[in-house]
Amino acid sequence: MLLQNPANMSKALTQLYLRLALATGFILLGFDRLGFWGPYGKPWVSWGDWKHFSAYAHEVMGFLPGGLAEVLAIIATIGEISCGILLLLGLFTRQAALGSGLLTGCFAIAMAISYGINSPINYSVFTVSAASFLLSTLPEYRWSVDVLLNKKN
């Protein structure tokens, strides 16, 4: 059925591309904060460790008490890595997409408060949030664990 209808194939591939692109971004950045990709200062490393990420998170959330900013940075990191893995697998895809949309939406707002509206726009944070919310509205997630689980039920 999918191969017989090019429009269905196009939708399925676009959904997969969106899901994998979002997943990759969340996983790579989340693990970067934990030092998985090497130490701070390497060309492909943004944070390299929690210390550098935490300092940035406190700066972005400078309008909050320091202790709360640290807790939110931890929650965001756990959420981003979890959403990334779930999106990669296509497991609880709708919920993971909603979660990633909320996380990036909150991040975009915090960036706008701390640095001005250009900052989240320049880094496409609103775009990632919108893409996540769009993914959450799709009727199915072909090539996912969700599809396999639904077939069993």
Domain ranges of the chain: 25-34+46-152
Give residue 71's Cα distance to chain centre. 18
pLDDT tens sequence across 8-42: 889 999 999 999 999 999 999 999 999 999 999 99
- Contact partners, residue 114, CB within 8 Å, separation at least 6: 59, 60, 61, 62, 63
Q: The whole model's pTM is what?
A: 0.93
The pLDDT tens digits for 63-83 are 999 799 999 999 999 999 999
